[in-house]
Chains A and B, each alone.
Chain A
Amino acid sequence: MTLTEVKEILSAEVISGGEDLEKEIKYAFAADLLSDVLALGRGSGVLTLLITGIVHPQVIYASNIFDLGAIIFVRGKRPTEETLQLAIENQIPLLVTSYIMFETCGLLYQHGLRPSIAKVKNARG
């Protein structure tokens, strides 16, 4: 699905990267722990959406390592100004939704988005 569809499904607000809304997203990963993002990030980053409540700049630095396609902040959390500036510099689209993480994941899954990694072998992935 495109980021436009993600935006519509989640009644989300696009706060950066509005010019990239036709970008295709196939996979998602949801975490509030950057340690998990770093340990479990997999596959094609550009097609992956990160679903998170972490709004400080480290979320952009971590996403940048995986070349993630976009980030959606859940529970109405808004990124800090520094996070926003970094996202713009690194060309990572940012969206905000009022839905909680569970509902965000459920709605996106229902519409065809799939996990970037479904199951781990151990705590390290």
Chain B
Amino acid sequence: MPEAEENIRFHEIFHIEGGNFTHAGAISSRVKKILKDAGFPGKIIRRTSIAAFEAEMNVICYANQGNLSLLIAPNFLKVVVKDEGQGIPDVDLAMREGYSTANEKIRELGFGAGMGLSNIRKNTDEMILTSKLGQGTHLEFTVYLDRQENEFPPE
């Protein structure tokens, strides 16, 4: 892992309550605000916030509870999401676009299309997903600050 503890400039942990759909999205909104206030480029903020939103929704939809940690280092942003819950029986299958185990409630909310995990991968530079059946899931993703064209193309 690239980070040494002394390189972390900011670290905040948010608790996520599984099954509580009312405020689903609130934590990624706070992540976005922190990144915006810190002055990161728009594209970095958007990529990280989209991935955080998808990860937050996954914990709410499928786990009992979890934590989302936001870490800011000089050259990367990292989000670590650990949950306690049913876990993912087949991680490779879950990563496949369109594969979903979402129930009716989740689909009614406009989610559960089976695009969340692949959308996290698309928006981040590194993604690690591991899961223990019946125990929980560990997801972490990194967005590098110096790797890509960070500004939006001109209108």
Contacts and interface: CB of A to CB of B under 8 A. Distances in A.
Interface string B117-132: 0110010000000000
A116 to B, nearest CB: 12
A32 B29 contact: no
A54 B94 CA distance: 25
A83 B152 CA distance: 29
Interface stretch (A15-23, A55-63, A70-78, A100-108): A55-63
- Sorting the interface of chain A by its residue count into under 10, 10 to 19, 20 to 34 or 35 or more gives 20 to 34
A124 B53 contact: no
A61 B52 CA distance: 12
B139 to A, nearest CB: 16
B55 to A, nearest CB: 11
A41 interface: yes
Interface in A33-92: 33-36, 38-39, 41, 43-44, 47, 54, 56-62, 64-66, 82, 90
Contact of A57 (B22, B28, B54, B153): B22
Contacts, number: 83
A123 interface: yes
A124 B21 CA distance: 24
A114 to B, nearest CB: 12
Contact of B152 (A36, A39, A43, A122): A43
Contacts of B91: none
B24 A66 contact: no
A43 to B, nearest CB: 7
Given A57-B23, A124-B97, A35 B110 contact: yes
B115 interface: yes
